[in-house]
Each structure stands twice: as C-alpha cells, then as structure tokens.
Amino acid sequence: MYDHYAGALYGVVLRIVQSKEYTEEVIQDVFVKIWNAIHQYDSSKGKFYTWMINIARNTAIDYLKSKGFQNELKNQPLPDFVYNSAELSTSNNSSDFIGFNNVLKGLEVDKQELIDLAYYQGYTQNEISEKLKIPLGTVKTKMRNALMKLKDLLKDYQ
C-alpha cells in the first residue's frame, strides 16, 4: 500500500505542511491511521484513494494546529526558519503529483480561492467568511458549487 500511495499522499501533505521534515513525520502518522482504521472504510461511500487523501489532509491540518508544532515554530531561530520556509516552499507546485492544479484552473478564481483556503490551508467556513468578509451563507453556497463543479471536472480524470 505504501509503495502505491505514498507519493500522492506525500504531495497532499507537503502542500499543507510546506516542510519536507514535517511532511515525513505526518506521512508516518497517516499510514498508521489508515492501518488502524481500515475496517472503517466503506466502498459504497467512495473510493479508497479518496478516503486516504481525506485522512492525509485532516492529519496534516491537525498537525499544523497542534500545540507541539506551534511551540516548535516559536522556538526556532528566525533566520533559520525563514531560510527553510523559502527553500521548502511548494509554490512551484512540484508537489502536485496528480495534476490537481490543472483541474482547479477549471474553476472561477473565487472558487479556487475557497478550495485553497478550506482544503490546503485548513480554514473553516466561518474563518473563510471572516477572512474574505462575505456572509457565511455565501461561503457555503459557493463552496458547494465549487465542489459540484470539481466533481464534474474530475470525471474526466478517472
């Protein structure tokens, strides 16, 4: 399982965590969670790959919000952290193993931003509403529309 899925899961986690060192730690946790929860997978609810991607995404976001990670960031000398962040930045999209950025380009810019904030940066819908200064109902509607459009776009990638 690791040989088949590690690359794709690594890309998802790296995009969220933005550090190779931390990504390796999170990937280990992801595979342990998958192993321990394999009995919870239900093929009638979705594909195995999608189930694993959700576990990876949620684990990465949980890691970023963890007190241990936040304390570690506080304890790093500023020059080293700034240097490492720039070096390990994923802004060049090298971690996009499945070509998802190309799929996202099929969405309107505002919907791309919602997907990025929610799924790559870990914002809740309430936080997105506050950040973008738009009503929560609008965020929910646009997010639903974006996900429905993504579903249509991803049909071509199966």
pLDDT tens, the chain, 158 aa long: 888 888 889 988 888 888 888 899 899 999 999 999 999 999 898 889 889 999 999 999 888 887 666 666 555 554 444 445 444 444 444 444 456 677 777 788 888 888 888 877 778 888 889 999 999 999 999 989 888 888 887 776 65
**At the top level of CATH, which class does the domain 99-158 belong to?**
mainly alpha
Instruction: Determine the Cα–Cα distance for residues 59 and 57; give it in Å rounded to an integer.
Output: 5
Domain residue limits, the chain: 1-98, 99-158
Q: Write the class of the CATH domain 1-98.
A: mainly alpha
Contacts 24+ apart (CB under 8 A), 66-69: 69/22
Question: What gap in Å lies between CA 22 and CA 62, rounded to an integer?
Answer: 12
- From CA 97, how far away is CA 8, in angstroms rounded? 6
Record the pTM.
Answer: 0.55
- CA–CA gap between residue 65 and residue 117 (Å, rounded): 15
Which helix (H) or strand (E) segment is 57 a member of? Answer: helix 48-65
